[in-house]
Amino acid sequence: MRILSGIQPSGTIHIGNYFGMIKKMIESQNDGELFAFIASYHALTSVKDKELLEKNTFEAAVNFLALGMDPEKSTFWVQHHVKEVLELYWILSNHTSMGLLERAHSFKDKTARGIQANHGLFSYPVLMAADILLFDSNIVPVGKDQVQHVEMTRDIANSFNHSYNTDLFVMPKSKIDDVVATVPGTDGAKMSKSYNNTIDMFNTKKKIKKQVMGIVTDSKELDEAKDWAGCNVYSLCKLFMGEDELLTLQKRYETPGEGYGHFKLALLDKINEHFDPYVQKREELLNNPKKVHEILEYGASKARKIASAKMEIIRDTVGLI
């Protein structure tokens, strides 16, 4: 079974990204053959700054490698290092109706928010279809917002297969995981970099402490019993603690004598304990860009081998000989 997913390179990552997406992707290395790439071409639709795109792409690679992406076991590359995807994008464009693209929620949402649409943004799902179909992907783990793009991929693949009376393209299925509920931010709303309520994974100890100490709670005093069930600090502790530890924490909430500051420090300890091993690995990689580039080139060469063989068959199928 082939699992494929792309990640947009988007600067700093928070623990919501980690528990919502990154951790699952890393773990899927045990479920099948994982193909994962940094969607640098897709990022061009929103990032128009050379240095920023370079920095974000490099950091995304470092973050994934530090968090356990295994470049031997999986195929991990940067999208623009395997240019076959652009050739397939053009071929697929000719099997994509305007109406299909006009119905895309993400495109409609962006234009409704006043973002000036250009052709890149409009045809974004065709490039995503090329990513998926080039590698014969069976499963595409995505967030809710991307499910429609996988459905569009199936439509495009069907249209192509039908035109050439072939079953060349494998029909992909999206996989959404409902188990991890949305990770709450420091104010209790969905943690998101757009809401300024994040707890970052890789920031200075001082900054992370400040974010944790800023978690919103009610104003119960030290000598009052507290309600753990509705508390943001407790909700975040659930991500890091096992059952026994949570029971102990519940007792502490229910027994007067401690304040929210104590619970926040308990959470901070857990966060540090969880991410410290990755911090060190990440620092090593950040300080060794040559090694990171070698790993990415190795991944690209593995991906390219598959992509170029598939493209030969596709060219032959459509008459580009």
- 173 C-beta neighbours (distance < 10 Å), count: 12
The CA angle 69-72-77, to the nearest 5 degrees, is: 60
| Residue 209 binds which of ligand ADP, ligand TRP, none (CB < 5-8 A, kind-dependent) | none
Structure tokens at 192: 């998101």
φ/ψ of residue 183, rounded to 5: -75, 125
Q: Does 36 bind ligand TRP (CB under 6 A)?
A: no
Smallest gap, in angstroms, from Cβ of residue 121 to ligand TRP? 12
DSSP string, 75-118: EEEEGGG-THHHHHHHHHHTT--HHHHHT-HHHHHHHHTTPPP-
The stretches of the chain forming alpha helices (DSSP H) are 15-17, 23-27, 40-43, 50-66, 84-93, 98-102, 105-112, 119-134, 147-163, 205-213, 232-237, 243-254, 260-286, 289-318
Binding letters toward ligand TRP, positions 183-222, x by CB under 6 A: ----------------------------------------
- 216 C-beta neighbours (distance < 10 Å), count: 15
Smallest gap, in angstroms, from Cβ of residue 127 to ligand ADP? 18
Q: Does 5 bind ligand TRP (CB under 6 A)?
A: yes
Q: Does 22 bind ligand TRP (CB under 6 A)?
A: no
Q: Does 39 bind ligand TRP (CB under 6 A)?
A: yes
Nearest residue (CB) to ligand TRP, 6 versus 184: 6
Q: Does 84 bind ligand TRP (CB under 6 A)?
A: no
Q: Does 71 bind ligand ADP (CB under 6 A)?
A: no
206: annotated active-site residue: no
Q: Footprint of ligand ADP on this chain (CB under 6 A)?
A: 10, 16-17, 20-21, 143, 182-183, 190-194
Residues contributing to the site for ligand TRP (CB under 6 A) = 4-6, 8, 39, 42, 128, 131-132, 140, 142, 146
Question: Catalytic site residues?
Answer: 110, 190, 193
